[in-house]
A and B are shown apart, each in its own frame.
Chain A
Amino acid sequence: MMPPDNDSDLRRRLEAYFDGRLTPEETEELGRRLREDPEARRHYWDEAHWHSALSVWGEQALGQKELQTEAAPCSECSQPDAEIRPEMGSDPASVGAPPEAASAPAFEPARAAEPGTQFEPVSVPARNPLRWWLPALAFAACLAFVFMLARRPASRGSAEEATFGGAATSGSIAAVQQPGTPKDATLPSAMPDSGAAHAGATLARLTYAADVVWSAASPVRDGSLDAGNYELERGIVRFETTAGAVVTVAAPARFRFVTADRIELSQGRITARMLREEANITVRVADMEVRDLGTAFGIDANDGSRTLVSVFDGAVAVTDAVHKGTAKQVVEGQSLIGRHQGGTVFESAAYSAEAFRDLWPLTVGINDASRLVEFLPPGPLLKPLRSYRANDRLYLFPEQQNVSTSRHLPIDLSAEVRSWPESQVSPYPLPPGVRVNSYLVFFQPEPAMHGVRRLNGSITFQQKIIAVMCSDQGLTESDAMLGDSKADYSTRGRRGLEELDKVNLKSTKLPHDSIRIGPDGRTIHFDFYVIDEREQMRVIVAAD
């Protein structure tokens, strides 16, 4: 029996009626209510109008899909005027119309439909022979509306200011973090070009500092670094020079900031990455000068007698500044050792990036990550992605940085749609012309993984997250544009996240994966239940 309804109950009944879910008894009850209650009839038409609109939309969508897929004309449907006249004219008695009516101009709109178009979907129950022209007419009549749909470009996540002092989660970076260290420091929206290093000139702005202790004499003020001598006694800092370089320094370190594009390093470890083509920096250690050639590189000067230079990307030129010998060029995936013996003697060395592992995430724009996130070693991909396997962690691989999207890309999460897969809406595609940094986060089990693991944590980026791709389609379609050109992304089977509960999979019942962008817009929280299948997501953040 239908209870004395309130509006929502009536609406539920009406919804069920239009979905064909009511039993005859319930339908009869609904009829009684409609017969007696004018307000219920008003609700009925409100619901009916939406049902009608959705049904018409559904047929149009189907018609469009078939227009797109019906590339090859078939022998039956390619007959001229086969759309209407054969039916109308074939049995004029039944319609009471004279044969000439079949050629009436009234049907021109329908005849204008594409020859070869079929409107009968395979999966729809068979219809009687005459009904096929109805969708055709509806489609022709409504096509104009479809073309009227303008596409609004997707909104961009703005490259807002970086913060230092990331979220207080633990991890490879978090080990040097301390809650309550410097509050948010902001980068100016446009930094001035490199200038002369007169006293008091601001050469860089801090973008990250955690658990940091500077010597009292270090000229750090209000998140700015001026020309002068610095001594970092504890912690790791990252700053962006006005010459366009991101520099990360780990304590203990002593250096002199000479100009915006020149640092003299006496001790410590440092990594640098150029943000744009015209950016540059030269780092001098004793007599040795390392000049970037559009690169990312690291220098370890903790041993007074030798300095290690490793190039992660691009190339650097290394010279002996005193003896002015021939510059040596070191390219990505190579290391060089300079021995300081009254001049510098250069030695080639096996590529070594281990000394920079803790600096690398900060250098590529990641402020914080849970312990279970392991960064691929800095530098070029030295072994295939599929070789990175572990059952208890995720890998993070920085892909293309500061790249501009060249076409619309399907995405699954954005600054506006922040949870997946629970959200009822899909975000707008990522439009062309957006400069982004791309990161691949992936789980890849060892060959014989048994059981179930829950991987739950977060990653905080320096810049705002503007999109996440976690479906097979989104990942595959963005590989070429955002992925590393040297990486092989080809996989067998699924690679995206699992949006449905994993039921009866190896007798294991698992919840689905979920990801969420945090309120700061820079942190992605993930909760994966992993078994023996790979899972990937591509996180896109605003370029620096």
Chain B
Amino acid sequence: MSEAPKQDPERLAHVQENFVRHMLALRGFVLGLVPNRNLADDIVQETFLVACQKAHTYQPGSNFRAWIFTIARFQTMTALRRKNGREALLSGDVVELLAQERPDDSALADRVAALDGCVGRLARTARRAVILRYSENLGPSDIARELGWTVNAINVALSRARIFLRQCVEHALRSGRPTPP
């Protein structure tokens, strides 16, 4: 087992500080590559650990975002290789291709902020489904069980809700006004 390289505490602090700063975008990136939120969390966590390990390789002043996203990309590939195939995920080569072509998502934070108000405008039933899906991280079949609906009804409800949310958020971002809940 190779000995861990001696870390420069200042460099490590710098990396960690930047990690926090870019974590939202990083999570967005990983969530875009793997839809499973638990797996995405594992990948982000592993990315953090590897970034700490490799902090000495980061050159202050260089593009931290590109550096950390590269680590995350490799961690995603690693995680996908480890998956045992029970979950239907895109294959590594497709994910790699997607990762390379990832468009900048600079509006993520704004979208998240606007969503708070837009979700509040959903009808009660649709809102319940959205909260169970994204806050409680339940799949459609679990949501169907929870609400006593059919799975198909949940799929339709979620799909419609997402269309509304997309329109609502885009409107809010265009108008520059947060949408009240």
Q: Which residues from chain A sit less than 8 Å from chain B, CB to CB? A: 12, 15-24, 26-28, 30-31, 34-35, 38, 41-42, 44-45, 48-62, 65, 93-98, 100-101, 104-107, 109-110, 121, 123-125, 127-128, 130-131, 134, 137-138, 141-142, 145-146, 148-152, 154, 412, 420-428, 471, 499-500
Known contacts A93-B4, A148-B113: does B158 contact A19 (CB below 8 Å)?
Answer: yes
Residues of B within 8 A of A35 (CB): 93-94, 97
Give the distance in Å from the alpha carbon of A529 to the alpha carbon of B102 in the complex.
Answer: 52
Give the distance in Å from the alpha carbon of A194 to the alpha carbon of B160 in the complex.
Answer: 55
Cβ A26 vs Cβ B88 within 8 A: yes
Give the distance in Å from the alpha carbon of A46 to the alpha carbon of B114 in the complex.
Answer: 17
**5 additional A-B residue pairs with CB within 8 Å, beyond A56-B108, A96-B53, A104-B12:** A49-B32, A52-B108, A61-B116, A134-B41, A150-B177
Cβ A57 vs Cβ B180 within 8 A: no
Contact of B16 among A12, A104, A127, A426 (CB under 8 A): A104
Cβ B112 vs Cβ A142 within 8 A: yes
Residues of B within 8 A of A53 (CB): 28, 108, 111-112, 115, 169
Give the distance in Å from the alpha carbon of A121 to the alpha carbon of B125 in the complex.
Answer: 21
Known contacts A96-B52, A105-B17, A424-B122: does B158 contact A52 (CB below 8 Å)?
Answer: no
Residues of B within 8 A of A20 (CB): 35-36, 87-88, 139-140
Known contacts A57-B119, A105-B17: does B24 contact A424 (CB below 8 Å)?
Answer: no
Give the distance in Å from the alpha carbon of A38 to the alpha carbon of B14 in the complex.
Answer: 37
Residues of B19-57 contacting chain A, CB below 8 A: 19-21, 23-24, 27-29, 31-33, 35-38, 40-42, 44-45, 49, 52-53, 55
Q: Is B159 part of the contact surface with A, judged by Cβ < 8 Å?
A: yes
Q: Is B68 part of the contact surface with A, judged by Cβ < 8 Å?
A: no
Known contacts A93-B4, A95-B52, A131-B41: does B123 contact A107 (CB below 8 Å)?
Answer: no
Contact of A45 among B24, B102, B127 (CB under 8 A): B102
Cβ A19 vs Cβ B31 within 8 A: no
Residues of B within 8 A of A93 (CB): 4
Give the distance in Å from the alpha carbon of A424 to the alpha carbon of B32 in the complex.
Answer: 26
Residues of B160-180 contacting chain A, CB below 8 A: 160-162, 164-166, 169, 177-180
Cβ B134 vs Cβ A54 within 8 A: yes
- Interface flags for B81-97 (1: CB within 8 Å of A; 0: not) read 00001011111011001
Residues of B within 8 A of A30 (CB): 90
Contact of A57 among B37, B90, B98, B112 (CB under 8 A): B112
Give the distance in Å from the alpha carbon of A495 to the alpha carbon of B124 in the complex.
Answer: 17
Residues of A within 8 A of B98 (CB): 34, 41, 44-45
Cβ B32 vs Cβ A45 within 8 A: yes
Residues of A within 8 A of B131 (CB): 58, 61
Give the distance in Å from the alpha carbon of A524 to the alpha carbon of B161 in the complex.
Answer: 26
Cβ A128 vs Cβ B42 within 8 A: yes
Give the distance in Å from the alpha carbon of A293 to the alpha carbon of B174 in the complex.
Answer: 54
Residues of A within 8 A of B109 (CB): 142, 145
Contact of A145 among B91, B112, B177 (CB under 8 A): B112
Give the distance in Å from the alpha carbon of A38 to the alpha carbon of B113 in the complex.
Answer: 30
Residues of B within 8 A of A152 (CB): 177, 179-180
Give the distance in Å from the alpha carbon of A101 to the alpha carbon of B127 in the complex.
Answer: 42
Give the distance in Å from the alpha carbon of A154 to the alpha carbon of B117 in the complex.
Answer: 13
B166 to chain A, nearest CB (A): 6
Q: Can you list 18 contacts pairing A with B, beta carbon distance less than 8 Å? A: A15-B162, A19-B140, A34-B97, A41-B98, A51-B31, A51-B35, A55-B27, A56-B28, A57-B134, A60-B116, A61-B134, A95-B52, A121-B136, A125-B137, A134-B23, A149-B117, A427-B121, A428-B180
Cβ B135 vs Cβ A58 within 8 A: yes
Cβ B27 vs Cβ A138 within 8 A: yes
Residues of A within 8 A of B16 (CB): 101, 104, 106-107
Give the distance in Å from the alpha carbon of A22 to the alpha carbon of B140 in the complex.
Answer: 12
Give the distance in Å from the alpha carbon of A500 to the alpha carbon of B155 in the complex.
Answer: 16
Known contacts A31-B94, A123-B136: does B24 contact A56 (CB below 8 Å)?
Answer: yes
Q: Is B103 part of the contact surface with A, judged by Cβ < 8 Å?
A: yes
Contact of B42 among A17, A24, A131 (CB under 8 A): A131
Give the distance in Å from the alpha carbon of A499 to the alpha carbon of B147 in the complex.
Answer: 12
Cβ B90 vs Cβ A34 within 8 A: yes
Contact of A49 among B108, B122, B135 (CB under 8 A): B108
Chain A, residue nearest B97 (CB) = A35
Residues of B within 8 A of A424 (CB): 122-123, 126, 160-161, 164
B7 to chain A, nearest CB (A): 6
Give the distance in Å from the alpha carbon of A141 to the alpha carbon of B38 in the complex.
Answer: 20
Residues of A within 8 A of B7 (CB): 96-98, 101
Give the distance in Å from the alpha carbon of A51 to the alpha carbon of B158 in the complex.
Answer: 12
Residues of A within 8 A of B107 (CB): 49
Cβ A58 vs Cβ B137 within 8 A: yes
Contact of B32 among A38, A48, A100 (CB under 8 A): A48
B141 to chain A, nearest CB (A): 9
